[in-house]
Amino acid sequence: MPSTIGLREQTAEASGDGLGLEAGTCISRDAEGNLTLPAALLAGLGLAPADEIILERIGHRLVLASDTLRRVYVEATSLCNLSCASCIRNAWTEPMGHMPMGRYRRLLAGLPRRPGAVTLAFEGFGEPLAHPEFLEMVRLARAQELQVELITNGTLMESAVAQSLVELGVAQVAVSVDGSDEESYASVRETALAPVLAHIAALRDARRRASCSALNRLQVPFFAKGL
């Protein structure tokens, strides 16, 4: 039962179909048959002029899709600090371990360096925060202007870690919670739910403090926004 906290403020309201387009927007075609896509459509899809686009015919419709790398899933570790009853890791016989930093740096070196071009999603069967250099992984990704997202069980996300995730500019944290009360949670996770809820609250509070500080620096009116 994932609970997701977006750590970044939305900078603009979406309009039309969510791509900044009004219904019925026309795409023109030149004398050579080339399609000209509106700038708002390109921006809404996160496309740059040099990006390739797949054009598919489905019945009487044409469907546009980006053929550019947008999302990379990274399992930083196959280790976890929990032994959940429902976890597939219980059936594994292979050795478990952490991704070496050298391999991770090579991964980053192969990714585009355009701001926001790629999202790095840390998830998998292991617990990302169990990697001893996880925050350094995030720092390196953010230094390359990659967007970072995280799925965690929340047990290791103490106040200092939560603060670091916000300061590093992690865009989204999803916390996996199996059970809505202490009894049901413990029956799966074999640990207490209360500390996890406290860690989620710490993340929320760190995000709110960061938002308030940014707004105070800008000297603009502040409107509280629930997570």
Mean pLDDT, 10 residues at a time, the chain of 227 residues: 47 41 66 78 70 80 77 96 90 91 97 86 96 98 96 97 96 93 95 96 94 64 40
- The pTM for the full model equals 0.72
Please, is 158 exposed, middle or buried when counting C-beta atoms within 10 Å of its C-beta (0-12, 13-18, 19+)? Answer: middle
Other Cβ atoms within 10 Å of 6 Cβ, number: 15
Per domain, the residue ranges of the chain are: 28-66, 69-218
Q: Do domains 28-66 and 69-218 have the same CATH topology?
A: no
- pLDDT at position 223 is 42
- pLDDT at position 151 is 97
Specify the fold of 28-66. Pemi-like Protein 1; Chain: D (2.10.260)
> Could you tell me which CATH number the domain at 69-218 has?
3.20.20.70
* Strands, E assignment, the chain: 2-6, 28-29, 35-36, 53-58, 61-66, 71-74, 119-122, 147-152, 172-176
- pLDDT at position 46 is 66
DSSP 131: S
- pLDDT at position 195 is 96
